[in-house]
């Protein structure tokens, strides 16, 4: 391998690393902007306008996915599920009043 080939390979590697780092910056920013990693059923009910009972029913039937938290009885809900509720079901009945 000549010196020019080595420099060209090194430049390509640097470009790939820069691209990967730019992607990480976006991910880190999104993670830093999230206040909670999971929400309680009450928090989701307040954010979406649906009742706590409906949120609990959705968790039991598998309509939305919950995650167990060690030492807690109820399942917690990830932000992606809250986004999905708002996208598919919109704001709940509480917001219509």
Which SS3 state, helix, strand or coil, does residue 39 take? strand
Query: pLDDT 10s digit of each residue in the chain, 97 long?
Result: 789 999 999 999 988 888 778 777 777 777 677 665 789 999 999 988 899 999 999 999 999 999 988 888 889 999 889 988 888 877 666 554 4
The DSSP symbol for 94 reads G
Euclidean distance between CA atoms 19 and 69, whole angstroms: 35
pTM value is 0.56
| Buried-exposed string 42-75: b where 16+ CB fall within 10 A, e elsewhere | ebbbebbbbeeebbbebbeeeebebeeeeeeeeb
50 within 8 A of 43, measured Cβ to Cβ: no
């Amino acid at each position: 391998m000549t010196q020019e080939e080595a420099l060209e390979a090194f430049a390509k590697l640097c470009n790939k690393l820069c691209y990967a780092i730019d992607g990480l910056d976006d991910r880190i920013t999104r993670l830093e902007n999230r206040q909670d990693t999971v929400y309680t059923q009450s928090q989701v009910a307040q954010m979406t306008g649906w009742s706590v009972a409906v949120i609990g029913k959705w968790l039991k039937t598998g309509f939305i996915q919950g995650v167990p938290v060690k030492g807690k009885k109820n399942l917690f809900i990830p932000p992606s599920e809250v986004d999905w509720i708002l996208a598919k079901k919109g704001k709940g009945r509480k917001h219509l009043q």
